[in-house]
Chain A
């Protein structure tokens, strides 16, 4: 089982061990485990229930997305990015489209930008809802899962009405949008805002002051801001550790600089702070959507983009703030219709590296809580 380097193999039969020895336990969590959010395999080394170390084994969902990109045109690759972080497909699409637009030196028209922001922020909410439901389920509270799925349905309905798909939306095109917003789009979004505001309070009512929830999450999986930066951890995990870094503010893309919103920041970098940060982010997303839906300008939805895209030779790195952290696309163009190389910087993959650091010295139950709080999606980790 132990063909890895960081954990020394267990020696059950060495003669110098005392006769009645309570051994360390190496257990294999996953890839088929209910709480590893897909097919993550974690090799845990336990002393009793205390975690001495762990190693993640990934790749069970590897589909070679980056390699596929080299054999597709820029337009053809667009749907593939939806399959990476399938929980936040819209954000993936936004990052990719903006990266290619940057390479082509075009910019989406304002109307398209506004609709993109609305859909992306709605998608951030669905992603956080799914995180909340599964995270709570991991910690043993089964009810929030059903509440969040009930409310997530409302957002998915908007997606479905807009582009026909619910999960892997493929909502954007390079250069803007393929579809004009349907009639009543603004009304639906506004209805959702007024519908969802009390729902966040409902989630918080179940968990925020729940003694067991607080005990299970406070002081669990603590990671400092320096460690986050050293490991490249981004997103709510970084912000909960007290680092005010949000690409929407730091390197504004799309038209985020037009909107007034705050970046929630935690203090302790523990699981509870990450929970609070994400809850507040949902509220901030609602705020952005509220402003965006009020100000959707009229106009075209597509910039002038050639039918056959041949970006100039060069390379570009563009990153956005996906729900899980910094989602970056590094695209190398050789001037042909197909990218020479696309490298994705997936937030889940990078954040997962912090798991060992966050779990050492904690208990098995905390490993589950930390995996949940990192909010990983294996489709994105393995690509």
Chain B
């Protein structure tokens, strides 16, 4: 309890610096971890709901449609209506299904998708925990979700789900390899800067040189090296990033790699036989997995929570200017709402909708105003930049879905094994070579 008070005090007095989770008292650590888990879980659920609405709207506007317009102003309440519908639906289990496995499968998927967020660093101090093997943990746990998909397809005891399950297992195992190579490239980059290197030169004290697997450590390495890894050893970092960006879409079974649930071929793939709440678990897992892999990409290549140009545009003025962004974003969103309030039809039937939109806009504007308070904006600035970068990836996901046809299975495998894998290996070797050459040139033999 003392810790909580201390933490709250730190908001009022900037001189008190407290990092949650880093208390000497172990039980305080557990307490903070629990609080963070609840916050992250809640935030993630909100993000998934928002993502559901945004995907429908953005996709609709790409396709000359309006998208949901009826439930709430501009369909804002549509995801909630959908969730209610799914919860109230009858829970069907096919008679010939393997009941236990059928029952467990969605939970495996959801568990894997949510557990990943344990190590996602939303900021230097905003992570549930920092693990020494952070990125390894993320890759490992997210690879477990394929177990859920495979067992779901098998347990349904039906042809289409089985084919979907087989497709997804082959697909995810294949793309994990390319994904892993891209990640290893980044891990190598964390160590290839100044300092010593095993077998090459002596350790120079005071310089980070060991490399790290920790998610927070990777972002800090980018901070210390003064470069986002997507630009490091140009174009090697960029190629690795592109490999990851392709593989992560395949990992999350999204268009154009959505073969396991290809609706025009396999009706709904592995979740054909699922309905109601169980189906919504798959849905939830898919979206949180999308957010999870996007967070990995952001952390590894795009500087995680760092704001743009931290080295180029540094100083109090720039800090202040970039600190305005979170508030301005929310004010802009609120302004959009008010603009649309003005555009709403004046018919009395739309009274409630208009009022609802105005309230929503007011809430957004209020959040924006709160975010202008310096004590708040300095603390959530990192979360904002992280979320903004992840949001860019989410937009890309929607954009791909609106643009690309679906790959065929053999073509998918060809892309994975014959293009991404060799490229990834090449980039890995080149990164190592370039890094060592640079190290040797930087420090002539002593």
Interface residues on B, range: 20 to 34
CB distance from B170 to the nearest CB of A (A): 10
Expressed in whole angstroms, the Cα–Cα distance for A146 and B67 within the complex equals: 12
CB distance from B150 to the nearest CB of A (A): 16
Q: Is A368 part of the contact surface with B, judged by Cβ < 8 Å?
A: yes
Expressed in whole angstroms, the Cα–Cα distance for A363 and B63 within the complex equals: 29
Q: Is A216 part of the contact surface with B, judged by Cβ < 8 Å?
A: yes
Q: Is the CB of A216 within 8 A of B407?
A: yes
Which A residues touch B266, using CB under 8 A? 364
The 8 Å CB contact of A363, one of B65, B160, B410, is B410
Q: Is the CB of A212 within 8 A of B267?
A: no
Expressed in whole angstroms, the Cα–Cα distance for A143 and B406 within the complex equals: 12
Q: Is A164 part of the contact surface with B, judged by Cβ < 8 Å?
A: no
Q: Interface SS of chain A: helix, strand, loop or mixed?
A: helix
The 8 Å CB contact of B65, one of A27, A146, A215, is A146
CB distance from A360 to the nearest CB of B (A): 16
Which of A25, A140, A150, A366 has most chain B Cβ within 10 Å? A140
Q: Is the CB of A140 within 8 A of B405?
A: yes
Interface string of B251-288 (1 = CB under 8 A from A): 00001101100111111000000000000000000000
Q: Is B163 part of the contact surface with A, judged by Cβ < 8 Å?
A: yes
CB distance from B322 to the nearest CB of A (A): 36
Q: Is the CB of B408 within 8 A of A138?
A: no
Q: Is B45 part of the contact surface with A, judged by Cβ < 8 Å?
A: no
Q: Is B411 part of the contact surface with A, judged by Cβ < 8 Å?
A: yes
The 8 Å CB contact of A34, one of B264, B401, B403, B407, is B264
Interface string of A129-151 (1 = CB under 8 A from B): 00000001111111101110010
- The answer to whether A140 and B404 touch (CB under 8 A), given A33-B267, A146-B65, A215-B411, is yes
Q: Interface SS of chain B: helix, strand, loop or mixed?
A: helix
Which A residues touch B262, using CB under 8 A? 140, 365
CB distance from A198 to the nearest CB of B (A): 15
The 8 Å CB contact of A140, one of B62, B159, B258, is B258
Which B residues touch A138, using CB under 8 A? 264
Q: Is A262 part of the contact surface with B, judged by Cβ < 8 Å?
A: no
CB distance from B273 to the nearest CB of A (A): 14
Q: Is the CB of B407 within 8 A of A212?
A: yes
Q: Is A119 part of the contact surface with B, judged by Cβ < 8 Å?
A: no
Expressed in whole angstroms, the Cα–Cα distance for A292 and B160 within the complex equals: 50
CB distance from B314 to the nearest CB of A (A): 42
- The answer to whether A215 and B160 touch (CB under 8 A), given A34-B264, A138-B264, A146-B65, is no
Q: Is the CB of A146 within 8 A of B63?
A: yes
Q: Is the CB of B256 within 8 A of A140?
A: yes
The 8 Å CB contact of B64, one of A25, A33, A150, A207, is A150
Q: Which parts of A111-164 form the interface with B (CB within 8 Å)?
A: 136-143, 145-147, 150
Expressed in whole angstroms, the Cα–Cα distance for A114 and B58 within the complex equals: 44
Q: Is the CB of B160 within 8 A of A365?
A: no
CB distance from A276 to the nearest CB of B (A): 16
- The answer to whether A147 and B64 touch (CB under 8 A), given A212-B407, A216-B407, is yes
Which B residues touch A210, using CB under 8 A? 404-405
Q: Is the CB of B256 within 8 A of A143?
A: no
Interface string of B399-421 (1 = CB under 8 A from A): 00111111111110000000000
CB distance from A146 to the nearest CB of B (A): 4
The 8 Å CB contact of B401, one of A35, A142, A207, A213, is A142
Expressed in whole angstroms, the Cα–Cα distance for A49 and B59 within the complex equals: 31
Which B residues touch A364, using CB under 8 A? 163, 265-266
Expressed in whole angstroms, the Cα–Cα distance for A206 and B267 within the complex equals: 25
Which B residues touch A34, using CB under 8 A? 263-264, 267
- The answer to whether A216 and B405 touch (CB under 8 A), given A140-B256, A146-B64, is yes
Task: Name A35's closest neighbour in chain B (CB-CB).
Answer: B264
Expressed in whole angstroms, the Cα–Cα distance for A49 and B67 within the complex equals: 35
Task: Name B259's closest neighbour in chain A (CB-CB).
Answer: A365
Expressed in whole angstroms, the Cα–Cα distance for A39 and B378 within the complex equals: 60
Q: Is the CB of A137 within 8 A of B63?
A: no
Which A residues touch B267, using CB under 8 A? 33-34
Q: Which parts of B211-235 form the interface with A (CB within 8 Å)?
A: none
Which B residues touch A136, using CB under 8 A? 405
Further contacts, 6 of them, CB under 8 A, given A140-B258, A216-B408, A365-B265: A27-B159, A35-B265, A140-B406, A141-B404, A150-B64, A213-B405
9 closest Cβ pairs, A-B complex:
A140-B406, A35-B264, A146-B63, A141-B405, A27-B159, A140-B405, A139-B405, A138-B264, A365-B408
A to B CB contacts below 8 Å, 24 in the list = A25-B159, A25-B163, A28-B159, A34-B264, A34-B267, A35-B264, A49-B409, A139-B264, A140-B264, A140-B406, A142-B59, A142-B401, A146-B63, A147-B64, A210-B404, A210-B405, A213-B405, A215-B407, A215-B408, A216-B408, A363-B408, A364-B265, A365-B406, A366-B408
- CB within 8 Å of A: which residues of B? 59, 62-65, 159-160, 163, 167, 255-256, 258-259, 262-267, 401-411
- CB within 8 Å of B: which residues of A? 25, 27-28, 33-35, 49, 136-143, 145-147, 150, 206-207, 210, 212-213, 215-216, 363-366, 368
